[in-house]
Amino acid sequence: MTETLILPETQDRAKCYQALIPQIEVLIQGEDDLIASLANTAAGLFQGLNVLWAGFYLVKHDELVLGPFQGPIACTRIKQGQGVCGQSWAQRKTIIVDNVDDFPGHIACSSASKSEIVVPIIVQNQVVGVLDIDSIHFQNFSDIDRVALEDLNRVLSTKF
């Protein structure tokens, strides 16, 4: 198993994902423990994307419960439909927020967060969790992120 990520020295997000995602897939390949896989994925995304927060919320008893993450402390529980994570879960789709202050009902776990992307993890047509990534920069996420992270979540969905 690798202990370090090899990342290109570029701000080109597509090139970052081209280097990062295959390394994350190798990290979790053959690992049957969900938490271990999510923890290494969160660490890889946090390091590789240089973001404020990267992690997971898992659906448990009709709410999202904080899972493995990297970054500052976070909200522990989120109801369906609340905040960006709860909306992504309810709508079963990826949500990109360019400015979190403009998102009605945004849950501010950290005042340093300026933009966010949340990608649902879907297994057998049910949302089982969400991948949440926050940035200190406005408009930090795009369709490039959406496509790469949705592909990654399809790989992660096999761990549930």
Which domains does the chain possess?
Answer: 13-159 (3.30.450.40)
Which tens digits make up the pLDDT trace of 39-69? 999 999 999 999 999 999 999 999 999 999 9
Which tens digits make up the pLDDT trace of 4-52? 889 888 889 999 999 999 999 999 999 999 999 999 999 999 999 999 9
In the sheet with 126-135, reading across from the earlier edge strand, the strands are 77-79, 63-70, 53-60, 126-135, 115-123, 95-97
Which tens digits make up the pLDDT trace of 130-149? 999 999 999 999 999 999 99
Residue 2's pLDDT is: 60
